[in-house]
Amino acid sequence: MRFLLLFILFLFSQAVPAQTNRPEHYDKPYVILISCDGLRYDYVGRFRPPNLLKFIEEGAQAFSMISSFPAKTFPNHYTIATGLYPENHGLVDNTFYDPQRKEFYRTGNRKAVE
């Protein structure tokens, strides 16, 4: 009897449509983060690049950002994406080894990081 009841509950649970993972089902907007590696703090104000200014006008701009240590691309981008510092996420250089995949990743190797 108990098995039959569990089986019926299982069948009903499978009949309920699963949530879809499509953008129109989300209440929150997407966030597009643009990080310009090596961009000096005064570049936008000094040279007024039209494409960057368009992004700033229609989005947001961060002021007074302080890079994490070490001040390298991979560790800092991972820090921005996760909110964790390098001592917590483990990336401390622009090259790192993934023991699960047994592969090296380098910022200069575009194919490996895509």
Please indicate, yes or no, if residue 23 is contained in any of the structural domains. Answer: no
Average pLDDT of the residues in 50-63: 88
16-53 per-position pLDDT tens digit: 555 566 666 667 777 788 888 888 888 999 999 999 89
Print the domain residue range for 61: 28-113
Q: Which of 20, 73, 79, 95 is catalytic?
A: 73
In a domain, 103, yes or no: yes
Three-state SS string over the chain comes to CHHHHHHHHHHHHHHCCCCCCCHHHCCCCCCCCCCCCCCCCCHHHHHCCHHHHHHHHHCCCCCCCCCCCCCCHHHHHHHHHHCCCHHHHCCCCCEEEECCCCEEEECCCHHHHC
User: What is the pLDDT averaged over residues 89-99?
Assistant: 88
Report field, pTM of the whole predicted structure over 0.85: no
Q: What's the structural domain count of the chain?
A: 1
Residue 10 pLDDT more than 70? no
Does the residue 20 lie in any domain?
no
Identify whether 73 is a catalytic site residue: yes
